Amino acid sequence: MADLVCEHLNMTFTNPQTGAAVEALKDINFTLKKGELLSVLGPSGCGKTTLLNVMAGFINATSGAARLGDKLIDAPGVERGMVFQQGALFEWLPVSRNVDFGLRMKKNDSAENEKLVEKWLDIVGLQGFGETPTYQLSGGMQQRVALARCLINDPEVILMDEPLGALDALTREKMQSLVLELWKETGKTIMIITHSVEEALLLGERLFVMAPRPGRVHKEYNLPFAERGLKESLREIKHDPYFSEVREEILTMIWNMEEEIMGRV
Amino acid sequence: MFEWLSDNRASVAAVLIILFLGAFVWSIVVGRKQARLTATDEVFGDPVRTRGGWYWSVCGVSALMLVWFYFSWGTGRAYFPNAANEMCQIAKLEEAVSPIKAALPIGSRYYKSTLLASRNTAQLDDLQSRLAGTVFTEAEKTELEDLIRRIGALIANSSNPSDMDQQSRDELVGLVERLNELSAFIDAGPGDLTPGEEALAQPAWGTTFAEIPILPVTARGMLFDTASVEAAEIAAEFNRIRNHVPENDRLIADIKEQIDALKETNETGAFDEQVSAEREDYVKAVERIFKRLDDGLIFPAAALADVNTAIANLDASANSAQGGLRFADAVFFPGPGIVKSRTQCTEQGSARWLPKPTDVVATFMRLANPDLENGGGYRGFPLLWWDWLPVADVVAFFVPDWIADAWPGEFASHGDDGTITPNFKDKLLAFAQGEVSLGHIPMLDGHIWDSLFRVLVALGLGIFLGVPLGLFMGVSRFFKSFFDPLIELYRPVPPLAWAPLILTIFGIQDDGKIFLLFMVAFAIMVISARTGASGVQLTKIRASHSLGASDRQIMWNVILPNALPEILTGIRIAVGVCWGTLVAAEMLAGTTGVGFIENIARTVSDYELIWVTILIMGVLGLVFDMIMRWVIKKTIPWRGMG
Ligand SMILES: Nc1ncnc2c1ncn2[C@@H]1O[C@H](COP(=O)(O)OP(=O)(O)OP(=O)(O)O)[C@@H](O)[C@H]1O
Ligand SMILES: [Mg+2]
């Protein structure tokens, strides 16, 4: 039972030349239980990526601590898988070598690897694409490779930074279903950052709306839509009056934050 | 087969020229037709307009070949194989007559006599005007003035036709007669003159180093050759003729006496040093002019006018006897034509430095022939061949002698009976020194291989050491900051500026050159690997960290492949730069290699060889580049796709 915990997390970027400091994160506190799905929403520049980078261990917080179970997060690790906006695939390797990259780094048995690759390509719907060069795949397919590459490593937590941001609406919807399916099947803890309010509502069992300057959690929601999305069609959920209500509320909230930023600038 | 082609290269060229001409015309026809077909659906500036069009390449290549054939006189030789031989005979006549022409307006604007008269008169006038300011006594000055006037009189007497004596007149008349007879002989045509056997046995034009066969092989050539012999005699005769002026005989004796008296005074007069020097100088100047005038080289202009006319007539006869050859010369032999000098006839103008395409191929084939005993190779070394290399040499190269020294024990010394029983340590030494027979392996050999070997070894070392260093510099602050100044200190210096130093330290053979090229390749590889390594997307690095890769695994599996496009481009550039530097280094020093051949060819003005080496280097450079392009296409199809 490993929860993802943030305690009084502060992150301040200081420009080494000017000495100007940006408070990217200020006093972030939350506990994400195992198997929870958290989506993070907020205006541009409010520190979402920074938060995720701290959780992934790419950067170290100025103060406070992030923990997975009782392990302090201070470096990247296999137990925390990452999915980036642009896939960040290794374009010199074919799909299957991308997917089993983590396994190969662990020097696993290659026959077993092969089986796992087959399985995961199947799950993400890329059967038969094993030998295709990644640069010949569409954006959606590349993102699915990235998902498979992350999941094959069997991480405890999956961190996603706008994983569906670059996709068209239809592909995006399919991928949202896929994420929900994977969540249900694997029972992983997932933290997903998004710009789309609808996506955040659909995917987020829990939802943080962050506010900028300093970056902080402005409001937290607990939502039923992710659970429902496992059984119902996502499009129907979007027509639910409660869904619309929350969406409008959040949109207004973020709109006001943006206005505030503009006004201040 | 090749022998036959080589001996018949003029005919081969004739066929080739027709083929190229055909290809040229054909490609223009096809190209214009294609242009009409596509003209309507492409606007100007549309990149599609540059696609395809291989027929224009045919057009360009054939045009280039035709220009080459033309200016190298390849066309002329192909269709007028005897023209050069005949032009050589004409050049012989020209050479024979040239001493006469040089003394006449027809050859040098003025009569030589005119020039002598005016130059010496001017100098006498100068002496005269300086006389007043000299250190001579008044009496001496009057005497000197008289002397100068008398010397002037020598010129006047020589120039006066009525002062000429009968013998000189007769000689000039005889000369004119002989010239006219020669003209008549040329006018009469070759008649039954036939080329001799020796002439016909000469190698054809361009097949030996002496470019143009010197003995006449045609009737017309015989005519000019024969005429040139007579002309040479006439010229010798002309040079012997002196203008004997009886008037001058007594004058010359008087002048001599006067000058001698002056010299005498100079010597016995006990003048101080400066005065003595000035007096001597002046008298010497007077004497010098006199010496130039006492040998009858000045003729009256009227007396030479007939000779001038006779030579003009001779030229006219020679011109008309050339007939169609003059047309061929003007159209197919661009440049000043052929000049005869001493023992050979040489091509002048573009043909002098631009060898004919067929000759270049022939020279290349001659060099490429590995049969050294029969004139193959260059300087006793083949162009590109193979040889048995003793394995012991290779081993000795890698196993240093000190290994034997370091082995425990002593080297064997001779025993009481004077014999030596080698122990293991001795055997180890023999092994390290390459004195053990280990059999032979076949190995490439030759000038081209030597050049290639140097480039490849240097490049290999450069890649092997430069890429890792560059990668580390791309990811590590220490490596970057520590090595950057070192490399940037030597890299900006042109490699050839290092050459004298490096060649002195490492020797002019392979070691020095390889080290020089290594320096070049190393810097390029470091910089390209570093650029490639530091250009890796951060998200890829982060992704691989999250996937559990260790630093070394990331280096090997992520950074290296990511830098591969830059590394391969670096290799491509390094090959080009190394190749250029190598040739220059081989020109500086050494005894093998393509650059060495070119350097020797340069010192002996062997233009064919120079062009052969240029073509070899061009082709090898092209092959290198094509291989690299192929490798790049095959290994990194994903370049720029990430
Ligand atoms: N390496 C850095 N150095 C200095 N400031 C940084 C750095 N990274 C982020 N910041 C600042 O921190 C703040 C938060 O950045 P962050 O990238 O986390 O925003 P975000 O919420 O992910 O925005 P977006 O939605 O546009 O991706 C911004 O004001 C940014 O300027
Ligand atoms: Mg971001």
Q: How does pLDDT run across A228-255, given as a tens digit for each residue?
A: 777 777 778 888 888 888 888 888 888 8
Mean pLDDT over B321-325 rounds to: 89
Exposure pattern of B128-143 as b/e (b: 16+ CB <10 Å)? eeebeebebeeebeee
Strand-strand pairing, A71-72 and A216-222: unpaired
C-alpha distances in Å from residue B381, one per residue of A16, B35, B167, B387, B579: 65, 51, 66, 11, 21
| Closest CB from B546, B562, B641 relative to A135 | B641
Residue B237 has pLDDT above 90, yes or no: yes
What pLDDT sits at residue B39? Answer: 66
Same domain, A16 and A67: yes
Q: Measuring CA to CA, which residue among B594, B622, B589 is closest to residue B610?
A: B594
Please identify, by atom number, the ligand 1 atom nearest to the C-alpha of residue A14.
4
Q: Measuring CA to CA, which residue among A121, A139, A142, A140 is closest to residue A130?
A: A121
Tens of pLDDT, residue by residue over B98-141, are: 999 999 999 889 999 999 999 999 999 998 898 888 888 888 88
Separation CA B88–CA B342 (nearest Å): 12
Mutate to test the pocket of ligand 1, among A13, A197, A265 (most ligand atoms within 8 A of CB): A13
Q: In A, which residues are within 8 Å of B565 by CB distance?
A: none
Kindly state whether B561 is in contact with chain A, defined as any CB-CB distance less than 8 angstroms.
yes
Do residue A91 and residue B543 have CB atoms under 8 angstroms apart?
no
Q: In B, which residues are within 8 Å of A88 by CB distance?
A: 537, 539-540, 542-543
Q: With the C-alpha atoms ordered A228, A231, A237, A242, is the resulting torsion angle positive or negative?
A: negative
| Closest CB from A75, A78, A135 relative to B547 | A78
Q: Is the pTM of this model over 0.80?
A: no
Q: How confident is the model at residue B642 (pLDDT cuts 50, 70, 90)?
A: low
Burial class (CB in 10 A: 0-12, 13-18, 19+), A204: buried
Ligand 1 — pocket residues by CB below 6 A?
Answer: A 13, 22, 24, 42, 44-50
- What CATH number was assigned to the domain covering residues B369-384+446-642? 1.10.3720.10
Separation CA B98–CA B115 (nearest Å): 18
CATH of the domain at A239: 3.40.50.300
A49 Cα to the center of ligand 2, angstroms:
4
Mutate to test the pocket of ligand 1, among A10, A12, A22 (most ligand atoms within 8 A of CB): A22
What pLDDT sits at residue B210? Answer: 63
Residue B92 has, within 13 A of its CA and on its CB side, a CA count of: 27
User: Which comes out higher in pLDDT, residue A225 or A81?
Assistant: A81
Kindly state whether B555 is in contact with chain A, defined as any CB-CB distance less than 8 angstroms.
no
In a domain, A84, yes or no: no
Instruction: Evaluate whether B474 touches B559 at the Cβ level (below 8 Å).
Output: yes
Region at A119 (left for phi over 0; alpha for psi -120 to 50; beta for the rest): alpha
Instruction: Evaluate whether B28 touches B58 at the Cβ level (below 8 Å).
Output: no
| Closest CB from B539, B550, B557 relative to A86 | B539
What pLDDT sits at residue B209? Answer: 64
In a domain, A171, yes or no: yes
Separation CA B579–CA B624 (nearest Å): 10
Instruction: Name the residue ranges covered by the structural domains of chain B.
Output: 2-71, 108-333, 369-384+446-642, 391-444
| Closest CB from B537, B545, B547 relative to A153 | B547
Q: How confident is the model at residue B324 (pLDDT cuts 50, 70, 90)?
A: confident
What pLDDT sits at residue B137? Answer: 84
Residue B180 has pLDDT above 90, yes or no: yes
Separation CA B347–CA B88 (nearest Å): 9
In a domain, A170, yes or no: yes
The label of the residue with tokens 């969540």 reads A183
Mutate to test the pocket of ligand 1, among A40, A46, A84 (most ligand atoms within 8 A of CB): A46
Whether a cis peptide bond, with omega within 30° of 0, leads into B494 is no
Strand-strand pairing, A4-14 and A63-68: antiparallel
Domain boundary among A100, A122, A154: A154
Separation CA B110–CA B108 (nearest Å): 6
Same domain, A145 and A36: no
User: Nearest 5°: phi and psi at B473?
Assistant: -65, -25
Domain boundary among A139, A154, A169: A154
Separation CA B412–CA B392 (nearest Å): 22
Kindly state whether B409 is in contact with chain A, defined as any CB-CB distance less than 8 angstroms.
no
Mean of all residue pLDDT scores within chain B: 88
Separation CA B156–CA B153 (nearest Å): 5
Instruction: Evaluate whether A51 touches A25 at the Cβ level (below 8 Å).
Output: yes
Exposure pattern of A4-33 as b/e (b: 16+ CB <10 Å)? bbbeebbbeeeeeeeeeebbbbbbbebebe
Same domain, A30 and A133: no
Domain encompassing residue A48:
4-79+161-261
The nearest alpha carbon in chain A to B559 belongs to: A90
Separation CA B59–CA B28 (nearest Å): 7
User: Which comes out higher in pLDDT, residue A66 or B184?
Assistant: B184
DSSP assignments along B354-410, one per residue: S--HHHHHHHHHHHH---GGGT-SBTTB-SSEEEEEEHHHHHHHHS-THHHHHSSS-
Q: Percentage of chain B surpassing pLDDT 70?
A: 99
Instruction: Evaluate whether B505 touches B512 at the Cβ level (below 8 Å).
Output: yes
Separation CA B428–CA B422 (nearest Å): 10
Total structural domains within chain A = 2
In this structure, which residue's CA is closest to atom 16 in ligand 1?
A47
Tens of pLDDT, residue by residue over A193-203, are: 988 888 888 88
Same domain, A28 and A130: no
Tens of pLDDT, residue by residue over B454-494, are: 999 999 999 999 999 999 999 999 999 999 999 989 889 98
Q: How confident is the model at residue B503 (pLDDT cuts 50, 70, 90)?
A: confident
Mean of all residue pLDDT scores within chain A: 85
Domain boundary among A154, A179, A197: A154
Separation CA B527–CA B558 (nearest Å): 18
Same domain, A149 and A166: no
